[in-house]
């Protein structure tokens, strides 16, 4: 990937507390590469996160960042997007934050279709709280909170997103940062909500879904004659797991209006844009009145 902007502009000095070897490092790198490739400068993007290991990400890069409460990055990001549609909105959180605690917001954002990209660091476990099973843990997965193996079937984010009306659904693997960066860039390019579900091994608490486990199962849809525009095909791919796991763009519907396209209140410009315009070109007499306050 030949990037236009130097990804180093996103580097930050904050001390990183991720475990050595964590897949989140690759997500961080890939996001910087994708933003650089799209020529998006740090001040033009806002990264919103929730709570969890992966949600620490905005701290580790130079960009506008907003760490929300658990499970709530999507409504916060939607609000930010409505206030300033020119901002590139990226949500980064984990499987617990998005598919568990924030599950309702996840379903709603799929059908609203705001121009927001969400990267879900899906490690199939709660890592920050030291290894409890998560919504995407496979049935039978043994953890401290599922000593006899988890009873529930795993949440299928791809199928749920598709059923709820998401217009861009992709899956990537943290062990392949180049492909991951391409998927993130494609998601940001897409007009509308884009989900990038990232298979991201937790090297400290998940000894089942390791880099090796994924490596043996993943394959690339790009290598097959797969048409991401078809819902039926996407539905079929969304249910492939265990034996073979597809990576790449699983579903993409183009040309549909975004949420903010349809908000009438934004027809006269965004709230942030109107404030900026007022500051730049005050109405007659407004500038004089303002000046008088300081004379």
Find, among 167, 165, 188, the residue nearest to 118 by Cα.
188
Which residue lies nearer to another protein by CB, 106 or 173? 173
Q: How many CB atoms lie within 10 A of CB 153?
A: 9
**Residue 211 found at the interface with another protein (CB under 8 A):** yes
Local structure of 240: helix, strand or coil: coil
Toward another protein, which CB reaches closer, 111 or 130? 130
Q: How many amino acids of this chain bind another protein (CB under 8 A)?
A: 32
Among 211, 176, 213, 216, smallest CA distance to 196 is for 176
Closest distance between another protein and the C-beta of residue 28, in Å?
Answer: 9
Residues 229-248 that bind another protein (CB under 8 A): none
Q: Does 179 bind another protein (CB under 8 A)?
A: yes
The structure tokens 């043996």 sit at 216
- Closest to 78 (Cα-Cα) out of 101, 111, 100, 54: 111
| 94 scored as a contact of another protein (CB under 8 A) | no
If you write DSSP's letter for every residue of 125-140 in order, what string do you get?
A: EETTTTSEE-TTSPTT
Check the CA dihedral 158-164-169-175 and report its sign: negative
Is residue 177 part of the contact set for another protein (CB under 8 A)? yes
Site stretch for another protein (CB under 8 A), options 14-22, 109-117, 188-196, 224-232: 14-22
Range 20-49, binding another protein (CB under 8 A): 20-23, 25-26, 29-30, 33
Per-position x/- string for 110-149, each x denoting binding to another protein as judged by CB under 8 A, each - no binding:
------------------xxxxx-----------x-----
Q: Is 241 helix (H, G, I), strand (E, B) or coil?
A: coil
Tell me which residues touch another protein (CB under 8 A): 19-23, 25-26, 29-30, 33, 128-132, 144, 174-179, 181, 201, 203-205, 207, 210-212, 215
């Amino acid at each position: 990937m030949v990037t236009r902007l130097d990804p180093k502009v996103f580097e930050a000095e904050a001390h990183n507390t991720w475990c050595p070897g964590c897949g989140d490092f690759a997500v961080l790198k890939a996001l910087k590469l994708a933003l650089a490739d799209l020529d998006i400068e740090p001040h033009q993007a806002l990264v919103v996160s929730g709570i969890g290991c992966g949600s620490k990400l905005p701290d580790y890069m130079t960009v506008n960042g907003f760490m929300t409460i658990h499970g709530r990055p999507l409504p916060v990001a939607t609000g930010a997007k409505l206030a300033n549609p020119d901002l590139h909105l990226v949500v980064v959180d984990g499987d617990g934050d998005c598919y568990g605690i924030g599950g309702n917001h996840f379903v709603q954002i799929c059908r609203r279709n705001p121009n927001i990209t969400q990267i879900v660091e899906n490690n199939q476990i709660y890592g920050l709280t030291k290894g409890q099973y998560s919504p995407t843990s496979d049935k039978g997965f043994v953890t401290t909170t599922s000593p006899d193996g988890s009873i529930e079937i795993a949440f299928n984010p791809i199928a749920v997103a598709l059923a709820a009306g998401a217009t861009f659904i992709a899956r990537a693997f943290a062990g392949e940062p180049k492909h991951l960066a391409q998927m993130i860039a494609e998601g940001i390019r897409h007009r509308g909500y884009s989900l990038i579900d990232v298979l991201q091994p937790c090297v400290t608490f998940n000894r089942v879904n390791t880099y090796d486990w994924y490596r043996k199962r993943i394959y690339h849809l790009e290598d097959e004659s797969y048409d991401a525009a078809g819902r039926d095909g996407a539905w079929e791919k969304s249910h492939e797991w265990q034996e073979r796991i597809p990576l790449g763009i699983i579903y993409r519907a183009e040309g549909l209006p975004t949420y903010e396209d349809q908000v009438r209140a934004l027809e006269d410009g965004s709230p942030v844009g109107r404030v900026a315009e007022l500051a730049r070109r005050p109405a007659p007499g407004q500038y004089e009145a303002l000046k008088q306050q300081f004379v």
